[in-house]
Amino acid sequence: MSSPQPHSGKEIEVKLAVPDAAAARELLLRAGFIEAHERAFESNEVYDTPGGDLLLARQLLRLRDFRNEAIVTFKGPPEPGPHKTRPEYETRVESAPAFRQILHALGYRLTFRYEKYRTTLQRAGEPGHAVLDETPIGTYLELEGSAAWIDATADELGFAHESYILLSYGSLYREHCQQAGIEPTHMVFTR
């Protein structure tokens, strides 16, 4: 594994519901996007205190397993506005099992698991990228970059700004379960 490359700053993104990955991929390819990272499975674990302090503060502590790397991410509370904008700090960790033990020793507990298949696409020289997320509750196109780039790209792809989804996958999953009349557990694929 290569050495950790920390990322800190602000995350600015929107989600867009799409009928399926093939149609969204074709739309992006016609708009000049190319595949930067091929489709890969991603597993995420969200941790919180027993009292749910992070959720109450609208913060997130996540351990992600993606492309044979373990990545820990902290996200701060979202800022008001038309895009999902929030502080984000992340870095790779050498051992996911060891980091889980550290979290447990500090009093954090696994509260939510979610899975998806992710494909990343981008256009050369542009300050943002698009990802296709195939989840157990539907397919989403995420646009991440500057607010101006997101709005211009959404317009170009034919999405109205009113279709922007600012919710996390955890919130989308809870909404899905409520609408389906089922008890929320984890957003994972059936095996």
Domains and CATH numbers, the chain: 7-180 (2.40.320.10)
Q: In this structure, are residues 154 and 147 in contact, taking their beta carbons and an 8 Å threshold?
A: no
Please state, rounded to an integer, the average pLDDT across all residues of the chain.
95
* Distance, CA of 80 to CA of 117 (rounded, Å): 29
State residue 67 phi and psi, 5-degree precision.
55, 45
pLDDT digits (tens, 9 = 90+) for 134-168: 999 999 999 999 999 999 999 999 999 999 999 99
* Model confidence pTM above 0.85: yes
Residue type, position 185, single letter:
T
